Amino acid sequence: MLEYKFKEFVAIVKKLRIECPWDREQTHDSIKSNTLEEAYEVVEAIDNKDYEELKKELGDLFLHILFHSQIAEENNHFTLSDVIDSINEKLIRRHPHVFGDTTVTGADHVQTNWEAIKLTEGRSSVLEGVPINMPSLYRAFRLQEKASKVGFDWEKKEDVWKKVIEEIEEMHVSEREETREELEKEVGDVFFAMVNYSRFLKINPEDALRSANEKFIKRFSFVEKRIIETGKKINESNLAEMDVFWNESKKDIK
């Protein structure tokens, strides 16, 4: 049944590329932003624990995988079968503890082996493979994580925190004495150090900041609603009044 449904899905995408004027015009470049958007929508559904929506969003993301594969096949670059062969080979090659006779002691050992195997595949640096277009906060996290797998890491969490404080102090000094360009670098160093500390806390900084953003939206929306209830518009209020409602929101929205 699953094989039949997959073949039907592939056939539908092929038919769309032939018979739909919009689908026919698309290229890898024209839909790449949509592909990224679909991935974010998958993450949003996971965050909301909305599994009905997750089912739909995974379908949308799956569509983009097939669509890109179909475009590539039409241009004689590769086929969907090549895509599947590639990932099958990679999964087997990078899991010698499952498909071979390698022994591992746990998840961390698996990740260390994973990075070592990548270097045997022609990569010149363990930092390769972290996309430049990835959100910078998460990219910093992944770069640090990859470096740590080959031993380039702090030994104590306390030392990482000292580095955070050091970078904050340098930023304050730069604010008074340096150019805007230098200040921007110091602000970046603060973020990078804080990402490192969050890694030692085993907290994904991208997830943490996304959660903080959503909490801010909910609390500020509460403030806007309460301002409207007083008969004012948000731009007719003042900070003292908004702060009262903000404190109210904290009781209702955790």
CATH code for the domain in which residue 187 is found = 1.10.287.1080
Residue 42 within any structural domain of the chain: yes
The pLDDT value recorded for residue 118 is: 79
Do 199 and 242 have their domain in common?
no
Residue 130 within any structural domain of the chain: no
Using pLDDT thresholds of 50, 70 and 90, give the confidence band for residue 153: very high
What spatial distance separates the first Cα and last Cα of the chain, rounded to whole Å?
A: 45
Do 176 and 244 have their domain in common?
no
Give the Cα separation of 141 and 33 in Å (integer): 23
Among 36, 56, 91, residue at a domain's last position? 91
Residue 104 within any structural domain of the chain: no
Do 174 and 225 have their domain in common?
no
- The answer to whether residue 178 scores a pLDDT higher than 80 is no
The pLDDT value recorded for residue 53 is: 97
Residue 234 within any structural domain of the chain: yes
Cβ–Cβ under 8 Å, residues 46 and 54: yes
Average confidence (pLDDT) over 168-174: 93
Residue 236 within any structural domain of the chain: yes
Residue 98 within any structural domain of the chain: no
Do 184 and 238 have their domain in common?
no
Among 66, 91, 116, residue at a domain's last position? 91
Do 222 and 192 have their domain in common?
no
Q: How many domains does the chain have?
A: 3
Using pLDDT thresholds of 50, 70 and 90, give the confidence band for residue 170: very high
pLDDT, tens digit, for every residue of 86-102?
A: 999 999 999 999 998 88
* Window from 10-19, 171-180, 189-198 with minimum mean pLDDT: 171-180
Average confidence (pLDDT) over 170-184: 89
Do 199 and 227 have their domain in common?
no
> For the chain, how long is the longest CA-to-CA vector?
72
Give the Cα separation of 17 and 70 in Å (integer): 8
Percentage of the chain with pLDDT > 90? 74
Give the Cα separation of 182 and 171 in Å (integer): 9
- The answer to whether residue 126 scores a pLDDT higher than 90 is no
Cβ–Cβ under 8 Å, residues 190 and 167: yes
Do 84 and 13 have their domain in common?
yes
The pLDDT value recorded for residue 254 is: 66
Range of the domain at 225: 207-252
Contacts of 130 (CB under 8 A, 6+ apart): 139, 142, 143, 146
Phi, psi torsion values for 108, nearest 5 degrees? -65, -40
pTM of the model: 0.73
pLDDT, tens digit, for every residue of 20-68?
A: 999 999 999 999 999 999 999 999 999 999 999 999 999 999 999 999 9
Q: Spell out the SS3 assignment of the chain.
A: CHHHHHHHHHHHHHHHHHHCHHHHHCCHHHHHHHHHHHHHHHHHHHHCCCHHHHHHHHHHHHHHHHHHHHHHHHCCCCCHHHHHHHHHHHHHHCCHHHHCCCCCCCHHHHHHHHHHHHHHCCCCCCCCCCCCCCCHHHHHHHHHHHHHCCCCCCCCHHHHHHHHHHHHHHHHHHHHHCCHHHHHHHHHHHHHHHHHHHHHCCCCHHHHHHHHHHHHHHHHHHHHHHHHHCCCCHHHCCHHHHHHHHHHHHHHCC
